[in-house]
């Protein structure tokens, strides 16, 4: 049992280090539950821990990758970060995205790393969301038989799943190429700096 737990942790960690096209963690959890009969609570904790570690490493790797970008691309990434932070609910929206988003998380963490977004709240949101979703899938696997594993397996390699990954990768590649300055929301009110062209 301990050997299976360690193997599950290693497999999930390895998959979550992949920047794209890795099988979703929930499908691995369903497989481990149906075939290795691991304790459901332990399995969820293993899944959340390993997945979180893998995604955070991806984000940190993307952050290091910024150093190799040309100055123009770095400037545009900085503008993209400023555009996000200039909106009142920008940071909260990112947190919610990591909690409830059904999108593949690899590209989300890579984008967070490239934009140098604060990883602590993002990671907390990811953990909260995955605790819920992984618990749901493992519970379903516990209540169902192996036919559930076959049905879910057919969903993993579907054309729609692959298309979503490709679209997210294209969006990620576009981050340093787009001029984000038009999306920056300038402050207004007492905190804004007022300028009078006619003033001395």
Burial degree of 182 (CB within 10 A; 0-12, 13-18, 19+)? exposed
Q: Is residue 63 part of a domain?
A: yes
Q: Is residue 119 part of a domain?
A: yes
Task: Provide the token pair at 124.
Answer: 């907390």
Domain containing 171 equals 2-183
Backbone phi and psi for residue 76, each to the nearest 5 degrees, phi listed first: -70, -35
CA torsion angle 98 66 25 104 (round to 10): 50
159-174 and 105-114 helices cross at what angle (nearest 10)? 0
Listed as ranges, residues in the chain with pLDDT below 70 are 83-92, 94-95, 97, 101-102, 145-165, 168-169, 172, 175, 177, 180, 182-200
Q: Is residue 35 part of a domain?
A: yes
Q: Is residue 126 part of a domain?
A: yes
Q: Is residue 176 part of a domain?
A: yes
**How many domains does the structure of the chain reveal?**
1
Q: Is residue 194 part of a domain?
A: no
| pTM (2 d.p.) | 0.74
Quick one: which H or E segment has residue 148?
Answer: helix 146-156
3-state secondary structure 2-71: HHHHHHHHHHHHHHHCCCCCCCCHHHHHHHHHHHHCCCHHHHHHHHHHHHHHHHHHHHHHHHHHHHHCCH
């Amino acid at each position: 049992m301990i050997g299976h737990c360690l193997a599950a942790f290693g497999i999930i960690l390895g998959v979550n280090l992949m920047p794209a096209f890795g099988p979703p963690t929930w499908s691995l959890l369903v497989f481990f539950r149906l075939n290795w009969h691991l304790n459901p609570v332990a399995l969820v904790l293993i899944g959340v821990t390993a997945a979180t570690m893998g995604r955070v490493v991806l984000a940190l790797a993307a952050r290091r990758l910024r150093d190799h970008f040309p100055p123009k691309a770095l400037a545009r990434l900085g503008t993209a970060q400023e555009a996000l932070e200039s909106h009142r609910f920008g940071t909260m929206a990112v947190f919610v995205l990591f909690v409830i988003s059904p999108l593949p998380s690899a590209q989300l963490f890579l984008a967070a790393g490239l934009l140098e977004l604060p990883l602590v709240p993002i990671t907390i949101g990811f953990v909260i969301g995955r605790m819920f979703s992984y618990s749901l899938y493992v519970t379903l696997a516990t209540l169902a038989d192996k036919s559930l594993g076959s049905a879910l397996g057919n969903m993993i390699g579907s054309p729609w799943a692959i298309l979503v990954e490709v679209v997210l990768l294209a969006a990620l590649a576009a981050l340093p190429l787009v001029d984000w300055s038009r999306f920056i929301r300038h402050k207004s009110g007492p905190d804004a700096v007022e300028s009078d062209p006619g003033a001395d």
